Structure 1
Amino acid sequence: MKRREFMAMTAVALMLPGLAAAHGPTRQKVTLTTEVAADPAEVWQAIGNFQDMSWHPAVFSTTGEGDNQIDATRVLTLGEEGGPTISEILYKYSDEKMSYSYRITDVAVEVLPVTNYSSHLTVKPLDGGGSEVEWRGAFYRGYPNNDPPENLNDEAAIAAVSGVYQAGLDALVERFGAPGS
């Protein structure tokens, strides 16, 4: 090996640790669950229709196409008529397993500070009666580069998604009651 080649390889090797430290965002995950007193079929009846998210207090209206078929779409209008919107697509649905999975296709980061977001909603029976509802998601923060502003960093993304999930799960407990109550 020539001295010049050796020096070039050494220079590249010395730069690699710095390159590894300069990576972009990492995929974040949130999983929240709640228990409700209602039978799983009753809970699924309320939340299992991809085209109807009226059970969530932040959603003013839902419009969409495709029912519960793969590639069905929906647009959630938040808060009030003319409010911000979130567009989503269904990519997995099982009435039998009481579960569906969807992705956001369009949302302003000012509304939900995430990118590349996918989510799964599942209802499971509890031993002794009642149901567990699990809502989990994976996403990247709203700012794809290094040094994000505070409102678009990992913590902001996790807090926003957790807030959405918690509000929905709390509404289900309010609607169906907690087990043993």
Structure 2
Amino acid sequence: MRMPLALVPAVAAGLAVVGLAGAALAHGPTPQKIDQSITIQAPPDAVWKVVGDFGGIGRWHPDVAKAEASGGNVEGTTRRVTLKAGGTLVEGLDEWLADGRTYSYRMSDPDLKALPVSSYSATLTVTPDGTGSKVSWIGRFYRGDTGNEPPENLSDEAGRTAMNRYFADGLKGLKAAVEGRTTH
């Protein structure tokens, strides 16, 4: 049976709407990105001496209760970061470049109590900035609930808020540690 030509545009439009609705419902999470930096009044080598120790995050990040690392600053090293607010981040070192004063790492195991994200990777870099240094911390992550309709506490916004706070607190703590001030 042939469809009357007058109905073809209407049927095609209807199928397009159904197709778009289906695609929208099938769409999962999109990667999120945060990018923060801070200027520190100290030479890059002095800043790198503090922040460049992958296992030493507990010495400068005020949200960290303790950090344990195995393997030093070698690719494949794992660190366990226990947060004061609860939860533990298990992170693996992907790349550590002393000459570039940079390292990249990723979360191995999600802990939604620690951060409401299902996965993340991050890069921390120290560069010269006038007479001081600029520290950049860039992260990419997926929200805590990767389903199509996440609860508010595991949404993209919850992930962005938590990751931005964690990075900002860390950078402020690093600045205080290097410049010799307390963070409280």
TM-score range, shorter chain: 0.7 to 0.9
Secondary structure of the corresponding residue to residue 55 of structure 2: coil
If you compute each CA radius of gyration, which structure gives the higher value, 1 or 2? 2
Q: Deviations over 1:87-106 (max 9, x none)?
A: 00011110000000000011
2:91 and 2:107 in contact (8 A); partners too: yes
1:43 matches 2:15: no
Q: 1:34 aligns with which of 33, 38, 52?
A: 38
Higher helix proportion (structure 1 or 2): 2
Structure 2 residue 72 is matched with structure 1 residue 67: yes
| Partner of residue 134 from structure 1, selected from 132, 136, 139 | 136
Report the RMSD for the aligned CA atoms in angstroms.
2.3
- AA aligned to 1:41 is D
Matched, 1:18 2:9: no
**Match 2:168 to one of 160, 166, 169:** 166
Question: Is there any run of 5+ residues in structure 1 with no aligned partner, and where?
Answer: none
**AA paired with 2:62?**
P
Give me the whole-angstrom Cα distance separating, in 2, the residues matched to 1:126 and 1:176: 15
Distance 1:107 1:14, change over 3 A: closer
Q: Which amino acid aligns with 2:29?
A: P
Asked whether the equivalents of residues 121 and 141 of structure 2 are also in contact (C-alpha less than 8 Å), the reply is yes
Indicate yes or no: 2:103 matched with 1:89.
no
Preserved contact between residue 103 and residue 124 of structure 2 (Cα < 8 Å): yes
Residue in 1 aligned with 2:152?
Answer: 150
Aligned to 1:56: 61
Q: TM-score normalized by structure 1? A: 0.86
Which runs of 5 or more structure 2 residues have no equivalent in the other structure? 3-7, 180-184
Q: Equivalent pairs: percent with the same residue?
A: 39
1:14 Cα deviation from its structure 2 partner:
5.4
| CA distance in structure 2 between the partners assigned to 1:115 and 1:37 by the alignment | 35
Whichever residue aligns with residue 121 of structure 1, its letter is L
Inter-partner Cα distance in structure 2 for 1:158 and 1:32:
12
Deviation at 1:116, TM superposition (A): 2.0
Q: What's the secondary structure of 1:52's corresponding residue?
A: helix
C-alpha change, 1:176 and 1:69, in structure 2 (3 Å) is closer
